[in-house]
Amino acid sequence: MRGQAAIMDALIFMLVASGAATLLLFVAGIYSSSTTTQINTIYNYEYGGNALIALHYAKDVQGKWFWNELEKKLTTTNQADVEAYLDGDARFVWQNITSSSPAGQNTTLCFEGAGLTTPCYPFNKPEPVSTTVYTSSVKITPDIDVIIKLYY
């Protein structure tokens, strides 16, 4: 009977060791994932902030300051004017935003407080369905905020 008891003890030890090993592997699997997510979040916010800073220096194809022209169009609260401008003279500005954005085509430029019926450009595209959205904003008039949104 002594041998059988020893085997049982060994099997219980094996069970405990397996449990401990499983716990270690589980912890190793999830370790740093939230930190990595936070660092990626920081990158996305930095991208958005830097993009808005860069837009302060952008000019359209007519050589006019992008921000000033956009402000003029937005204060008219005419969505068609804003769309025509972003699709026309400032098209390459938008192309630069989407080509550089880590979210690619899932990037939108929203104009809060401008009274547009659809606040986010591209106006004809439905808002991406996403659980994670990173936003950076800048006030271009006391009433209007321009918000860059990155959807993941």
Residues that bind other proteins (CB under 8 A): 2-3, 6-7, 9-11, 13-14, 16-18, 20-21, 24-25, 27-28, 31-32, 35-36, 39-40, 42-43, 46-47, 50-51, 53-59, 92-93, 96-97, 99-102
DSSP 106: S
12 vs 80 by CB, closer to other proteins: 12
Least distance from other proteins to the Cβ atom of residue 32, Å: 4
Backbone angles phi, psi at 103, to 5 degrees: -90, 0
Least distance from other proteins to the Cβ atom of residue 28, Å: 4
Strand order in the sheet with 120-121: 120-121, 107-112, 145-151, 133-139
- Whether the Cβ atoms of residue 90 and residue 69 lie closer than 8 Å to each other: yes
16 vs 80 by CB, closer to other proteins: 16
38 vs 141 by CB, closer to other proteins: 38
- Please, which contacts does 58-66 make with residues 24 or more away whose CB atoms are closer than 8 Å? 58/90, 58/93, 58/96, 60/85, 60/89, 60/90, 60/93, 61/89, 61/90, 61/91, 61/92, 62/89, 64/89, 66/90, 66/93
Least distance from other proteins to the Cβ atom of residue 98, Å: 10
Least distance from other proteins to the Cβ atom of residue 114, Å: 22
Least distance from other proteins to the Cβ atom of residue 21, Å: 4
- Whether the Cβ atoms of residue 149 and residue 51 lie closer than 8 Å to each other: no
16 vs 84 by CB, closer to other proteins: 16
51 vs 144 by CB, closer to other proteins: 51
